[in-house]
């Protein structure tokens, strides 16, 4: 049997459904999914099997107009992920259509398009009527020559199997890149930090958008099979620390419980999770914080 393996980059605007599609393809939660934009920071890879093919999904940060160093590093990671991939899939939200952001991405694809296989996936198709979908598909294909167009709902699973099957056929022949039972190549310390950050993002809503990061400072394996995980939540200001802690520490306690529960489900064992909140005014200017997130600090230079 001839095996195939390769990298698939999912690109699109923030909130286009890239993380949801990655998780649907892989069949497990490997990438943060929230209703917030810009929640994916590092290039998280999910590994899916389809027949004799192994698909390695590069779930890039959403492409948007960068304003801060962190924004610029995230956008550089997204385009870098696309440039390294065997196949690129552009996700466009059906109900939002061709926004300014999509226009900019289409312009950027021109630079990547030489000799590359680039497909279009119109996502969230359950939100619009058929005639709107067809018009959007036609308009997008007039602006860029996509290898194939798919109509999908990553959340509900519509059209995802067809996309995965097609991607499998597009992968180059070669040995698998990861063991059969591996679903992601992120270190567990980073996955643990991402899970906690997701719970913070969900809990805090609009109060503290993107001024925080989470790092797993210590991971201690215990004799009884459990693990102790110590994490630090870094915020930019004293005022933010109070928001994260909440009244009588209720917010951080609820976040810790939710993150611990998900970590236990994910790892299949008991977890002791300890969170600390620290103020580091300039964490977004520290190279060490970026490497913890899998980003390149230098890419944040204007």
Q: Distance between CA atoms of 149 and 128, rounded to whole angstroms?
A: 17
Specify whether the CB–CB gap between 37 and 257 falls below 8 A: no
Are 173 and 166 contacting, i.e. CB atoms less than 8 angstroms apart?
Answer: no
Residue 179 assigned as binding residue: no
Residue 185 labeled ligand binder: no
Please tell me the distance from the alpha carbon of residue 62 to that of residue 56, in angstroms, as a whole number.
18
126 is in an annotated binding site: yes
Is there a binding annotation on residue 188?
no
Question: Do the annotations mark residue 101 as ligand-binding?
Answer: no
CB-based contacts of 59, cutoff 8 Å, min separation 6: 10, 18, 19, 22, 30, 31, 40, 43, 44, 45, 46
Q: Does the annotation list 119 as a binding residue? A: no
* Ligand-binding site membership of 115 (annotated): no
CA dihedral 190→192→195→200, nearest 10 degrees, is -90
CB 10 within 8 A of CB 180: no
How would you classify residue 249: left for phi > 0, otherwise alpha for psi between -120 and 50, otherwise beta?
A: left
Task: Say whether 17 counts as a known binding-site residue.
Answer: yes
Q: Determine whether the annotation assigns residue 14 to a binding site.
A: yes
Residue 18 annotated as lining a ligand binding site:
yes
- The end-to-end CA distance of the chain, in Å, is 48
Q: Is 16 marked as a binding-site residue?
A: yes
60 annotated as ligand-binding: yes
The dihedral built from the CA positions of residue 302, 80, 74 and 10, taken in this order, carries a sign that is: positive
13 annotated among ligand-binding-site residues: yes
Does 61 count as an annotated binding residue? yes
Which residues does the annotation place in the binding site for GTP?
12-19, 59-63, 123-126
Which residues does the annotation place in the binding site?
12-19, 59-63, 123-126
């Amino acid at each position: 049997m001839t095996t195939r393996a390769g990298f698939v980059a999912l690109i699109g605007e923030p909130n286009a459904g890239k993380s949801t599609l990655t998780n649907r393809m892989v069949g497990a939660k490997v990438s943060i999914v929230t209703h917030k934009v810009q929640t994916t920071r590092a290039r998280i890879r999910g590994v899916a099997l389809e027949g004799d093919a192994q698909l390695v999904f590069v779930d890039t940060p959403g492409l948007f107009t960068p304003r801060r160093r962190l924004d610029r590093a995230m956008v550089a990671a997204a385009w870098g992920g696309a440039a390294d991939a065997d196949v690129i899939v552009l996700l466009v939200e059906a109900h939002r259509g061709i926004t300014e952001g999509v226009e900019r991405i289409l312009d950027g694809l021109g630079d990547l398009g030489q000799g590359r296989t680039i497909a279009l996936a119109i996502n969230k198709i359950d939100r619009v009527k058929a005639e709107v979908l067809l018009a959007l598909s036609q308009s997008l294909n007039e602006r860029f020559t996509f290898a194939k167009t798919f109509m999908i709902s990553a959340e509900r699973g519509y059209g995802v199997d067809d996309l995965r099957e097609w991607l499998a056929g597009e992968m180059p022949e070669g040995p698998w890149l990861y063991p059969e039972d591996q679903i992601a190549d992120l270190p567990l310390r980073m996955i643990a930090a991402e899970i906690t950050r997701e719970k913070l993002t969900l809990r805090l809503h609009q109060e503290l958008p993107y001024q925080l990061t989470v790092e797993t400072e210590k991971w201690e394996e215990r004799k009884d099979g459990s693990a102790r995980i110590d994490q630090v939540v870094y915020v930019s200001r004293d005022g933010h620390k109070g928001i994260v802690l909440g009244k009588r520490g209720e917010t951080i306690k609820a976040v810790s419980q939710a993150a611990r529960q998900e970590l236990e489900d994910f790892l299949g064992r008991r977890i002791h999770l300890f969170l600390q909140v620290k103020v580091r005014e300039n964490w977004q200017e520290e190279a060490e914080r970026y490497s913890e997130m899998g980003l390149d600090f230098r890419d944040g230079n204007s």
